[in-house]
Amino acid sequence: EIQLQESGPGLVKPSQSLSLTCSVTGYTITSGYDWSWIRKFPGNKMEWMGYISYSGSTNYNPSLKSRISITRDTSKNQFFLQLNSVTTEDTATYYCARSRTIAAYFDYWGQGVMVTVSS
Amino acid sequence: DTVLTQSPALAVSPGERVSISCRASEGVNSYMHWYQQKPGQQPKLLIYKASNLASGVPARFSGSGSGTDFTLTIDPVEADDTATYFCQQSWNDPYTFGAGTKLELK
């Protein structure tokens, strides 16, 4: 069974960097698919942030392009999110998810991790 | 970005049929997908590419549409269907989501 699990600090100070890890079990992230980060803001709005593909290429939402980096550790079957210069507007629940390279629908999701940006 | 517009909320009685709409600000071909999210849970894929039922999803759920207008139909609605339903497009970059339709049962 494919499972994704997010981990990372639940509280980040403004201007600092937010760093999250997605651990994948049941599927090797280099075998196929794209591996995304998605966030849901208070009030329900959802935003796709970007992905790292099975080959290691990345694609980011232009709204975040200057602040975001998605990387991976293939030996641990994990991928990572780093979001720089956070503000209170980055407070959200962050999800990692798997999507098909073609059609790009998200068929497996992590449970999500709530991150609050506050001093 | 492609804006997806959904009605904020709907209320229906168990056993009825409900249609949830999603309108895109520009064409997305058939690359519209639907998710169900219950409080405290992650989103669950229901429908992909407008009309394809995801694995394990009951046949009470169906999807239709192409271009800019899409519909998720639940028939018949059950009590367990109380949730928020999101549409998501992947034809235009960046991928975008609708604001969600909250389905309540009377």
A80 at interface of B, judged by CB pairs closer than 8 A? no
pLDDT band at A102 (very low <50, low <70, confident <90, very high): confident
d(CA A90, CA A62): 15
- pLDDT higher than threshold 90 for residue B27: yes
Query: What letter represents residue A79's amino acid?
Result: F
Average pLDDT, chain A: 97
* A111 vs B42, B48, B88: nearest CB: B42
* pLDDT digit string, tens, across residues A41-55: 998 899 999 999 999
- pLDDT higher than threshold 90 for residue B41: yes
Please tell me what DSSP assigns to residue A45. -
pLDDT of B15 reads: 97
Q: How large is the average pLDDT for residues A52-80?
A: 97
- pLDDT higher than threshold 90 for residue A3: yes
Q: Which two tokens stand for residue B104?
A: 């309540």
Cis peptide before B94 (omega within 30 of 0): yes
Please tell me which residue of chain B has the smallest CA distance to A112. B42
State the smallest CA–CA distance between residue A75 and chain B in angstroms: 26
| Touching B: A residues 38-67, CB under 8 Å | 44-48, 59, 61-63
pLDDT of A101 reads: 85
State the smallest CA–CA distance between residue A18 and chain B in angstroms: 21
* pLDDT digit string, tens, across residues A11-29: 999 999 999 999 999 999 9
A109 at interface of B, judged by CB pairs closer than 8 A? yes
pLDDT of A43 reads: 87
- Using CB atoms within 10 A of its CB, is residue A62 exposed (0-12), middle (13-18) or buried (19+)? exposed
Inter-chain residue contact A95 with B42, CB threshold 8 Å:
yes
Nearest to A112 by CA among A35, A20, A11, A13: A20
A105 at interface of B, judged by CB pairs closer than 8 A? yes
State the smallest CA–CA distance between residue B76 and chain A in angstroms: 24
